[in-house]
Amino acid sequence: MSTPNSAYSASAITVLTGLEAVRQRPAMYVGSTGPSGALHLIYEVVQNSVDEAMAGHCSRICVTLQANGSIQVADDGRGIPVDAHPTDGRPAIEVVLTTLHAGGKFGPQGGQAEAYGIAGGLHGVGISCVNALSDHFEVEVRRDGLTSHIAYMRGEEASPLTSVGPSESTGTTVTFRPDPTIFDGVVLDVRTLRRRLQEQAFLHPGLTVELTDARGRNRASEVFRYDTGIAGFVDHLVAERTPLHPQPIAISGEHDGHQVDLAVQWTTAYAEETLSYVNAIFTSQGGSHVEGLRAALTRVVNARARAEGLLHDDADEQIAGYDVREGMVAVLSVKMREPEYEGQTKSTLTSHSAIDAVEAVVEQALSDWMDAHASAATAIVGKALEASRARAAARRASERARYQSIDQVVSKEVYKQQFGIRSKNWHQSAAWITDDTILSTQADMWDGPDDAKVLDVCCGSGVVGNAFRGKVGHITGLDLTPEMIAMAETRLDIVKQGDVYEMPFDSDQFDLVCNREVLHLLPRPDIPVAQIFRVLKPGGTFIVSQLVPYGPEDAPWFFRIVKKKQPLFFNNLMAEDMVKLLEDAGFVDIEMKDIICWEDIDVWIDTWETPNLHRHEIRQLYYDAPAEVRRVHPFEIRPDGGILDQWRWVVLRGRKPSA
């Protein structure tokens, strides 16, 4: 994007404040003195080059991680001005490098001195912060036929601005090393850096971004350059998902001084992924531009559904926004003047004008697109309706199971429906399903003969029973639906169809019964435990694992999360409840082991059984978790809003007394 007032000379630099205190309180300026702070220094320098690219003056940015721990960022932009600053008298580059809030982006809007109409700028602190926090910092500027050089140590000038020779090109090369006395022992997160640089290449078609890692023995280099823009970005994000329509929908338009670019594609997946940017800065928590997008999507899809006669007019049926967005992958980029954010981290846009701009551009363009692509539009609307109905069905499922449980009979149909559909991608629906630690802990607790007869109850895919392979003789599976039986038959010796309330086996049959994560889904878990006790031979062993809360502090919070994920959740079993269940059934010599298991919750909630509204609510429960919960239940919220939870599992072993 080129700006009319692009006179980027010394007079375009405005001085606001001094550079004190950055070294005293680095975290205040760059977020932390850990890995994210170190990355932030790089972003801050790269962003200067990106702003040059946005102004139409830079086509290549090279980031090199050097062997000595320095980072070099080189661009072919106009070069930082080196002539004398009009109010300060010093060379403009000195002002930029040593003064907080100094730069071409802080000039008066629309004034003569404005070098950038639109600029990112990270925390508004500028490159001077990077200078202050580096033990070595040097800049080479190629501009007006000359190459100039200046160097600093911890913010103090080490070598004054000097002309070191002629130059045929233009650009700026910044080389700096994060001060090890501040960023002590920090290892650069190259994966995150790589993602951010690739993202910039997507956001600026034609811009080449190169990342070279020269730290190890093998110098590795990667070049990102895309002419496909954010549509290509969406294509890249959709990757292994199955799209509902062949190409991402690309929307571009201007409204009231806002340039709005959107690429969106719906997929058959459940989770929604929306990445949003303001002036090429990632807004991890969204904000007003994303609100405008949501409003437009909801309105267009509902209008389309109504026009196609898919909604019940008499019932005033509406597809909710979160159902419209199920399985949607979108990249939204807004360019605007003077964006306002909540807080210093720029994670949420608050500028009200962005709501109307995005809404207006997207609503018009998307409905035009749908008119021109009728069959794709029908697929998108159909998916939203299906999501809406699945949510209603999930609610009904739990209500039906609840109703049935009055006389202790649970409708098998309810479970069949819920798990039959899930069986399609059983191993994708949670990482712990194939978690080696849980499986091997269960297998290690078996201390019986290697010709033992085993029963895997509610075997699902059969991985639990299969984990005992080699330590036992014959493995039988039991589950509800033909789909699950077909799947378990690939792992187990024989699989019977039946349910846990009335197991289709004679008494005293098995040496070992194993089971995982089923009892909490049943209104009466004591019945299957009694059944298991019945089919075990005297002296036989029961091994069971169960996801449990850490303690009374997180029990109600954990209940809400699991209930929102799985409507058939009926019992918030604590570790103590598991022991009691086994004791009450008559088991003796009960032993219990604790296992922890980290999991990205997106894996866990991206399933058919979790409606989109619940997915959002679950995330919110993590974001707003009370202090009591946080103290006992470890989880991590990543800067991009993703959540890693540390589940607590217990594995119990009990023995049926010998006759």
- Check binding of 434 to another protein (CB under 8 A): no
Token pair for residue 152? 């600093």
Smallest distance from the beta carbon of 525 to another protein, in angstroms?
A: 9
- CB of 291 or CB of 483, closer to another protein: 291
> Who's near 239: CB < 8 A, 6+ residues apart?
none
- CB of 273 or CB of 483, closer to another protein: 273
List the one residue from 35, 556, 586, 634 that touches another protein (CB under 8 A).
Answer: 556
- CB of 482 or CB of 552, closer to another protein: 552
Smallest distance from the beta carbon of 571 to another protein, in angstroms?
A: 5
Smallest distance from the beta carbon of 406 to another protein, in angstroms?
A: 4
Q: Of 229, 293, 235, 292, whose CA–CA distance to 267 is shortest?
A: 235
Site residues for another protein, 45-64, by CB under 8 A, read: none
- CB of 426 or CB of 557, closer to another protein: 557
List the one residue from 553, 599, 600, 602 that touches another protein (CB under 8 A).
Answer: 553
Enclosing H/E stretch for 6: none
Enclosing H/E stretch for 457: strand 453-457
Cβ–Cβ < 8 Å for 244, 380: yes
Enclosing H/E stretch for 602: helix 601-605
Site residues for another protein, 384-403, by CB under 8 A, read: 398, 402-403
- CB of 231 or CB of 366, closer to another protein: 366
CA dihedral of 487, 491, 495, 500, whole degrees rounded to 10: -80
Q: Of 279, 278, 273, 291, whose CA–CA distance to 237 is shortest?
A: 273
- CB of 63 or CB of 522, closer to another protein: 522
Site residues for another protein, 619-658, by CB under 8 A, read: 620, 628
List the one residue from 355, 362, 394, 492 that touches another protein (CB under 8 A).
Answer: 355
DSSP string, 293-316: HHHHHHHHHHHHHHHTT-S-TTTT
- CB of 243 or CB of 286, closer to another protein: 286
- Please list the residues that pair with 647 across neighbouring strands: 597
d(CA 337, CA 278): 10
- CB of 88 or CB of 553, closer to another protein: 553
d(CA 130, CA 141): 17
Site residues for another protein, 94-133, by CB under 8 A, read: none
- Check binding of 356 to another protein (CB under 8 A): no
List the one residue from 85, 255, 294, 335 that touches another protein (CB under 8 A).
Answer: 294
Smallest distance from the beta carbon of 552 to another protein, in angstroms?
A: 4
d(CA 465, CA 439): 9
Site residues for another protein, 405-424, by CB under 8 A, read: 405-406
Smallest distance from the beta carbon of 464 to another protein, in angstroms?
A: 24
- CB of 107 or CB of 567, closer to another protein: 567
Cβ–Cβ < 8 Å for 542, 533: yes
- Check binding of 341 to another protein (CB under 8 A): no
Q: Of 365, 480, 487, 485, whose CA–CA distance to 426 is shortest?
A: 487
Cβ–Cβ < 8 Å for 205, 227: yes
Cβ–Cβ < 8 Å for 112, 5: yes
Q: What is the 3-state secondary structure of 499-538?
A: ECCECCCCCCCEEEEEEECCHHHCCCCHHHHHHHHHHEEE
Smallest distance from the beta carbon of 179 to another protein, in angstroms?
A: 41
What mask of x and - would describe binding to another protein in positions 62 to 101, judged by CB under 8 A?
----------------------------------------
Measure CA 102 to chain center. 34
- CB of 133 or CB of 561, closer to another protein: 561
List the one residue from 291, 340, 386, 413 that touches another protein (CB under 8 A).
Answer: 291
List the one residue from 128, 134, 288, 461 that touches another protein (CB under 8 A).
Answer: 288
- Check binding of 339 to another protein (CB under 8 A): no
d(CA 487, CA 493): 12
Site residues for another protein, 563-622, by CB under 8 A, read: 563, 569-572, 574, 613, 616-617, 620
List the one residue from 35, 382, 448, 551 that touches another protein (CB under 8 A).
Answer: 551
Q: Total binding residues for another protein by CB under 8 A?
A: 35
Q: Which long-range contacts (CB under 8 A, 24 or more apart) does 472-476 make?
A: 472/446, 472/448, 472/511, 472/512, 473/449, 476/510
Smallest distance from the beta carbon of 347 to another protein, in angstroms?
A: 15
Cβ–Cβ < 8 Å for 71, 175: yes
d(CA 492, CA 462): 6
Token pair for residue 70? 């320095």
Smallest distance from the beta carbon of 405 to another protein, in angstroms?
A: 5
Smallest distance from the beta carbon of 527 to another protein, in angstroms?
A: 12
- Check binding of 527 to another protein (CB under 8 A): no
Q: Of 444, 498, 499, 448, whose CA–CA distance to 473 is shortest?
A: 448
- CB of 498 or CB of 523, closer to another protein: 523
SS3 of residue 62 by DSSP: strand
Q: What is the 3-state secondary structure of 623-647?
A: HCCCHHHHHHCCEEECCCCCEEEEE
- Check binding of 320 to another protein (CB under 8 A): yes
- Check binding of 530 to another protein (CB under 8 A): no
Q: Which residues are near another protein by CB under 8 A?
A: 288, 291, 294-295, 298, 320-322, 355, 398, 402-403, 405-406, 523-524, 549, 551-553, 555-556, 558-559, 563, 569-572, 574, 613, 616-617, 620, 628
